[in-house]
Amino acid sequence: MGITVQHWGLITYEKALQQQKELVKLVQKRLAPSTMVFCEHPTVITKGRNSHDSHIVLSEDELNDRKIHVVPIHRGGDVTLHNANQLIGYPIFHLSDFKEDLHWFLRSIEECIIEIIAEFGILGHQQDGLTGVWIDGERKICAIGIHCSQWVTSHGFALNVSNDLSEFDTIVPCGIDDKTVTSIAKELGREVSLEEVLPIAEKIFKKKFA
């Protein structure tokens, strides 16, 4: 069956969210194929269904001063942050074309991310009881949170490539306060562009969901 890929570039979270909703409807109605969207967002904090306000460290005034929006959304998970040079992937997939199993789907996304960073010589792994991809059990390099309706998925993953990790100090990422975040650039000690990562990510996801 396979998937198609769209590149939305740097796009506000709010605009991408609206475009996601429109694409979900098309995929549900079988008017569009399962589609992987790649993009990046200006700095924004999103709150999943299981989020806690206490996991946003800054006050409303401080957030306003820094022009950081907070957007409540209906994906699973807690609080997370998106910013420039972070690779966002939104798999708008009809799982009936693959496997109607959300656990399998989440693990499959993690496996794809592990393969992507392995191309850069980074060893990532899954962590029992926690969603996402980790380095050495301590550093989170990719956050994942999805929603599913009528077996069509939305939302997705955020892979830290060379984004500003200091902005994560504004939140307790995914509600986990005893771990840190990392990026491909930080692990390698050099700058890495999204342009380096995108073709690898596209190839791996197309292969996994062929």
Positions marked catalytic: 174
Beta strands in the chain (DSSP E): 4-10, 35-40, 44-47, 69-72, 79-82, 86-92, 125-127, 130-135, 139-149, 152-160, 180-181
Residue 70 burial (CB count, 10 A): 18
Contacts of 73 (CB under 8 A, 6+ apart): 17, 46, 47, 48, 155
Collapsing DSSP states into helix, strand and coil, what is residue 103?
A: helix
Q: Which of 210, 42, 73 is nearest to 146 (CA)?
A: 73
Collapsing DSSP states into helix, strand and coil, what is residue 122?
A: coil
- Cα 78 to its chain centre, rounded Å, is 13
Long-range CB pairs of 120-126 (<8 Å, 24+ gap) are: 120/184, 120/187, 120/188, 120/192, 121/188, 122/184, 122/187, 122/188
Q: Which of 52, 109, 84 is nearest to 165 (CA)?
A: 84
